[in-house]
């Protein structure tokens, strides 16, 4: 029997990462968020900070590599585009994570990378602007830019990143098995639903 | 306290209507599917068959009416476009359904029409092509056209209809509170999740 994998994609500020951590805790699954960043950093030679910054919201400079990674050949020698390199490294790492045990993976196109992995549950977490704005101010404090502007910019970049590497529209329900509005349903309800579905 | 409303939008063949009926049964809510068609037929003077056929998959000929209905004035005198007339009639009926008691409403842009109604749960049900194709062949039998072609055509029309009257993208998670892949999760799981969320 294969190991269960839950991928959690999320809008910035929606609480998706918190939900993912709680789901992993409750199920006793491996949790790949910072741990994934560390691995990508180790394999790429870039710093963790750099990988985090360039991770999910920097656009690619090479569609050649995009095609390579889609065809599964996976090599990245001789290609420019730092984002491309990072994508392929993280693609190759994510592909093998299920071998290490049941797990929850946050973002980084993991829904797309593991779309053909059978024992999977692909989740998208999103929320209305007010919920997200209140949440990031509470978590990260006030900044020069309005929270709405920060949210818009961050998610716009994620959208472009996702489209670039997967060819799909970020947030379209058909890419996921379940999409949950954490602002409307509440963080706890989202955790309960995902845990229950994983246990069925 | 206001009456709870659940709207269920669905891809053709996904089992969304079956799920909606089961949810209404389990919760003891009013169920508006055929009953809504009958009302629209009665108010418009068109036959039930005609309303059903032209209901969710015919495009509008008038953007004027679209603006009218969005601004809430709701009249439809003197406007051409049968779909437009039907949309405005159904818009006005759907707006008032919550007054009659807690209910489940299937399709017809009810998610959009009741988007500002507070005690609501907006659901989208979808599935992979194989699940839907097998399902419609089982339910409606073989036809001249391949089931995949029938599914594609039907949903393409629904998409255009929805976009035309709401300005939104059909199936984008942000339009709903919860989106469920019935092919992956199973019809029963979808019913359970919706019932549980309604009861919270």
Find the CB nearest A173 among B121, B126, B197. Answer: B126
Counting as low any pLDDT under 70, the low residues of chain A are 1, 55, 57-80
pLDDT for residue A49:
87
Tell whether the model's pLDDT for residue B80 goes beyond 60.
Answer: no
Residue A81 CB contacts under 8 Å (≥ 6 apart), including other chains: A60, A61, A62, A65
Interface test with B, best of A179, A193, A197, A200 (most B CBs within 10 A): A179
A131 interfacial to chain B (CB closer than 8 Å): no
CB contact under 8 A, B172 and A176: no
Tell whether the model's pLDDT for residue B76 goes beyond 60.
Answer: no
Judged by average pLDDT, the poorest of A10-14, B72-76, B103-107, B108-112 is B72-76
Q: How confident is the model at residue B64 (pLDDT cuts 50, 70, 90)?
A: very low
Cα–Cα distance between B172 and A123 in angstroms, integer? 14
pLDDT for residue B9:
95
A119 interfacial to chain B (CB closer than 8 Å): no
Mapped onto helix, strand or coil, the DSSP state of residue A7 is strand
Mean pLDDT score across all residues of chain B: 86
Specify burial of residue B98 (Cβ count, 10 A radius: 0-12, 13-18, 19+).
Answer: buried
Element (H, E) at B110: helix B110-113
Find the CB nearest A185 among B169, B173, B177. Answer: B177
pTM: 0.86
Tens digits of residue pLDDT in A151-168: 888 888 888 888 988 999
A92 interfacial to chain B (CB closer than 8 Å): no
pLDDT for residue B59:
56
User: What ipTM score was computed for the predicted complex, to two decimals?
Assistant: 0.85
pLDDT for residue B144:
80
Which residues does chain B have within 8 Å of residue A181's beta carbon, measured at their own beta carbons?
173-174, 176-178
Cα–Cα distance between A153 and B8 in angstroms, integer? 31
Cα–Cα distance between B53 and B80 in angstroms, integer? 18
A31 interfacial to chain B (CB closer than 8 Å): no
| Structure token pair of residue A200 | 């069925």
pLDDT for residue A192:
96
Mapped onto helix, strand or coil, the DSSP state of residue A10 is strand
pLDDT for residue B61:
46
Cα–Cα distance between A165 and A90 in angstroms, integer? 12
Q: What average pLDDT does range B42-52 have in this prediction?
A: 87
Partner residues linked to B134 by β-bridges: none
- The strand pair at B30-32 and B120-126 is best described as unpaired
CB contact under 8 A, A185 and B178: yes
pLDDT for residue A157:
87
Tell whether the model's pLDDT for residue B78 goes beyond 60.
Answer: no
Catalogue the E-assigned strands of chain A. 5-10, 30-32, 103-106, 120-126, 178-181
Which residues does chain B have within 8 Å of residue A111's beta carbon, measured at their own beta carbons?
none
Tens digits of residue pLDDT in B138-176: 988 888 888 899 888 888 888 888 898 899 999 999 999
């Amino acid at each position: 029997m294969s190991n269960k994998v839950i991928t959690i994609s999320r809008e910035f500020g929606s609480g998706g990462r918190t939900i993912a951590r709680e789901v992993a805790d409750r199920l006793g699954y491996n949790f790949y968020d910072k741990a994934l960043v560390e691995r990508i950093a180790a394999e790429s030679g870039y710093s963790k900070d750099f990988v985090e910054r360039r991770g999910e919201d920097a656009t690619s400079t090479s569609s050649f590599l995009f095609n390579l990674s889609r065809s599964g050949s996976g090599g990245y020698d001789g290609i420019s585009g730092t984002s491309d390199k990072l994508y392929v490294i993280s693609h190759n790492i994510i592909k093998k994570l299920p071998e290490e045990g049941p797990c929850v993976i946050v973002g980084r196109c993991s829904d797309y990378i593991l779309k053909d992995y059978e024992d999977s549950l692909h989740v998208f977490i999103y929320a209305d602007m007010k919920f997200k704005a209140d949440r990031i101010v509470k978590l990260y404090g006030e900044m020069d830019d309005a929270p709405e502007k920060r949210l818009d910019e961050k998610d716009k970049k994620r959208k472009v990143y996702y489209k670039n590497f997967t060819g799909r529209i970020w947030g379209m329900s058909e890419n996921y098995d379940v999409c949950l509005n954490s602002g409307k349903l509440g963080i706890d309800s989202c955790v309960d639903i995902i845990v229950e579905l994983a246990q069925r």
